[in-house]
Amino acid sequence: MHDLLTQIKAILADVVARAGEYSGIFASAKQYILDNFGQTGLIAAYITLGVLVIFIVSRLVMMTLAAVKYLVVPAVVLAYLASLVLPVTFGVALPVTVTLCSLVLLFKG
């Protein structure tokens, strides 16, 4: 247990050191924008960065919801139906149905 805590502390120290490196990059980028474009350019950069982050997050959410809609729900329904009709349990049928739904999605495009 003590070794695990020591490893966690070492990992956290490494993360903090790397975060310090990246904060220097952000500070220099901020100063560059202020020097060349002024306060208005900095506001525009913040807005652009915010829109980009929102766009990326929305795409990730859409992909997640599509995976749930087209992969998880059909696989669970098929596994439930298979456990009712066939002499297998739900836990045995679920990996098979997830694989089948994945293959259908891959070939469907």
pLDDT digits (tens, 9 = 90+) for 23-55: 778 888 889 999 999 999 989 999 999 999 999
Name which of 80, 98, 100 is nearest 90 in CA terms.
80
The upper half-sphere exposure of residue 3, i.e. CA atoms within 13 Å in the direction of its Cβ, equals 0
51-70: string of b/e by CB count within 10 Å (b at 16+)? eeeeeeeeeeeeeeeeeeee
Number of C-beta neighbours around residue 5 at 10 A: 9
Q: How many angstroms separate the CA atoms of 18 and 68, rounded? A: 35
Helix (H) or strand (E) holding 86: none
What pTM, to 2 d.p., does this model score?
0.62
Banded pLDDT at 109 (limits 50, 70, 90): low
Is 78 within 8 Å of 100 (Cβ atoms)?
yes
